[in-house]
Amino acid sequence: MKAFVKTDVLKVGQRHFPSIGILVSLAIIMIIFGIITPKFFKLDTLAGILTITAELAVVCVPMALLLISGELDLSVGSNFAFAGVLGALLLNRQVNGLLTLVAVILFGILIGIINGLLTTKLRLPSFIVTLGSMFTLRGLLLVVTGGFPISFRGQNVLLWLLNGKLIGEIRMSFIWLVFVVVCFHFILNKTRHGNWSLGCGGNADVAQALGIPVSRVKLFNFLLVGAMAAFGGMLSFARFGMAYPTLGEGMELEAIASAVLGGCALTGGFGTIFGASLGALLIASLRVGLVLVGAPAYWYRAFIGIILIIGIVINKEVMRRLVGGGQ
């Protein structure tokens, strides 16, 4: 009877809060860092972590939606870098800030649509399609910049709106982070599109048979990823006033890792937006936390890898107990 009640409570918890796994992992890691060094919970430190999280989360959150619908996008890092460079080039040509932002996001949307059309209409694996666009964009970026960073030294209110300092060390990117998470949470959980995305990722053939426009759903998710990768690139550019052709390299893997850490199934059909954003928060916490606790410099990457695996194990174990109950 006791076991039944426990299982029942956990199942209810899981239904209402499916990101419990990543939350537990995050809490454990943060508490460990906090015990080793109280500086970890200082406001400035947390603000720094949130700044790294914001850039990653605006990419990994839409990536989570795409993963849920059964596809992935490896071109986000290149798109991210291209957006920054495009933004810098336009602002240097005295283009209005808002128009620049719109143009950059439209460019990202275009990349998303190309990826989406090639994947859905030609029935090509999104892994290959987006790998191709990743290389193409990175190459074009080098052609456009000649390898040099593009800087913008002027003042523009857009840069502050995107990533200026808000209060203390907290930046505007934190507001965008919250906005993006809320919007995508709403899309996934409160709209027909979100429900269809889950259906497409669960079983595309069944979804098609049930009348779900699978291609259209996936295409829209590619579009969202493209738009948000471009927006993320603008966030990074806005902080430094400089766009590097190397920006965003490896970001695709960090974005996918964050989403998977957050409970998204790589095979599609399952995952949460809140969990994905917590995955990004976990990665950012590790980056900063390991420096704060004085971990040996060259162990950082190894630590990050190990802790990511531990995080996923904790997450999966918590989820197994919740979903599987007494199994």
Contacts with another protein by CB under 8 A lie at 37, 39, 42, 44-45, 48-49, 51-52, 55, 138, 141-142, 145-149, 151, 165, 236, 239-240, 242, 244-249, 284, 287-289, 291-294, 297-298, 300-301
Q: How far apart are CA 315 and CA 282, in angstroms?
A: 12
Closer of 44 and 317 to another protein (Cβ): 44
Closer of 178 and 293 to another protein (Cβ): 293
Q: How far apart are CA 286 and CA 271, in angstroms?
A: 22
* Least distance (Å) between residue 301 CB and another protein: 7
* Least distance (Å) between residue 237 CB and another protein: 10
* Least distance (Å) between residue 291 CB and another protein: 4
Q: How far apart are CA 154 and CA 149, in angstroms?
A: 16
* Least distance (Å) between residue 43 CB and another protein: 11
* Least distance (Å) between residue 231 CB and another protein: 15
Q: Are 270 and 198 in contact (CB under 8 A)?
A: yes
* Least distance (Å) between residue 53 CB and another protein: 10
Closer of 2 and 148 to another protein (Cβ): 148
Q: Are 54 and 176 in contact (CB under 8 A)?
A: yes
* Least distance (Å) between residue 223 CB and another protein: 25
Closer of 42 and 121 to another protein (Cβ): 42
Count Cα atoms within 13 angstroms, Cβ side, for 309: 5
Closer of 204 and 290 to another protein (Cβ): 290
Give the three-class secondary structure for 165.
strand
Q: Are 119 and 105 in contact (CB under 8 A)?
A: no
Closer of 20 and 261 to another protein (Cβ): 261
Look-up: residue for tokens 């048979």?
209
Count Cα atoms within 13 angstroms, Cβ side, for 168: 12
Closer of 112 and 245 to another protein (Cβ): 245
Give the three-class secondary structure for 184.
helix
Per DSSP, the residues of 216-266 read HHHHHHHHHHHHHHHHHHHHHHHHHTEE-TTTTTTHHHHHHHHHHHTT--T
| CA nearest neighbour of 163 among 51, 224, 91, 239 | 239
* Least distance (Å) between residue 195 CB and another protein: 35
Closer of 212 and 229 to another protein (Cβ): 229
Sign of the torsion formed by the C-alpha atoms of 55, 60, 63 and 65: negative
